[in-house]
Amino acid sequence: MADVAKGDKDAFSSVYDAVAGSVLGVVRGVLRDRAQSEEVAQEVLVEVWGNAARYRTDRGTAINWVLTLAHRRAIDRVRSVEAAAARDHQAALLARTPEFDEVTEAVETRLEHEQLRRCLRTLTELQRQSVSLAYYRGLTYSQVGELLAVPLGTIKTRLRDGLIRLRDCLGVSA
């Protein structure tokens, strides 16, 4: 990444090869629309090139940095589209999320990492659904609560407890 920041296109090409598939996967999961996803994923990758100097090794791995950026940009896009195009929040929510079971199952079959799949299975059903809908579908926690018909306070704690359990299972430190 330090070479990318210095304008080394070969280094960028290697970074691209390492992250592009996941960037597209994350963005597509949230946005669903294929053309928009490709557009946002390209913007993210171009931003990685432009802002590589901002990546700091002491704040985690490069791929985490890139994927956090990709997730944020995908969410920015989906929420701006919702805000502008659909004041009817419920309609937008339903239009975007047909069946949460279908969603989470589709996501899980695409998971390549056995460890992550195993760790996700250690979560309670509600934790797993909440975390999946928030991360992979880009829903706010209140949308998650609405969709699962669960009180907001419960969703808040399930998101936190679920991530904590995942963190411990995956051995993530920061």
Contact positions with another protein (CB under 8 A) in 95-114 = 107, 110-113
Does residue 69 contact residue 30 with C-beta atoms inside 8 Å?
Answer: no
| Alpha-carbon radius of gyration of the chain | 17
Which of 57, 80, 70 lies closest to 19 in space, CA to CA?
A: 70
- Least Å distance between CB 156 and another protein? 5
- Tracing tokens 């090869």 back to the chain, one arrives at 17
How far apart are the two ends of the chain, measured CA to CA in Å?
19
- Nearer to another protein by Cβ, of 46 and 94: the residue is 46
- Least Å distance between CB 170 and another protein? 6
Distance CA 91, CA 82 (A): 10
Asked whether position 128 contacts another protein by CB under 8 A, the answer is no
Site for another protein (CB under 8 A): which residue of 14, 36, 38, 100? 38
- Least Å distance between CB 106 and another protein? 11
Site for another protein (CB under 8 A): which residue of 31, 123, 134, 147? 134
Does residue 139 contact residue 133 with C-beta atoms inside 8 Å?
Answer: yes
Does residue 123 contact residue 84 with C-beta atoms inside 8 Å?
Answer: no
- Least Å distance between CB 117 and another protein? 8
- Tracing tokens 């949308």 back to the chain, one arrives at 143
Q: What would the x/- binding string for another protein be over residues 55 to 74, using CB under 8 A?
A: ----xx--xxx-xx-xxx--
- Nearer to another protein by Cβ, of 98 and 118: the residue is 118
- Least Å distance between CB 20 and another protein? 5
Encoded amino acid at 75, one letter: I
- Nearer to another protein by Cβ, of 101 and 171: the residue is 171
Which of 84, 106, 112, 99 lies closest to 147 in space, CA to CA?
A: 99
Site for another protein (CB under 8 A): which residue of 31, 40, 41, 103? 41
- Nearer to another protein by Cβ, of 110 and 149: the residue is 110
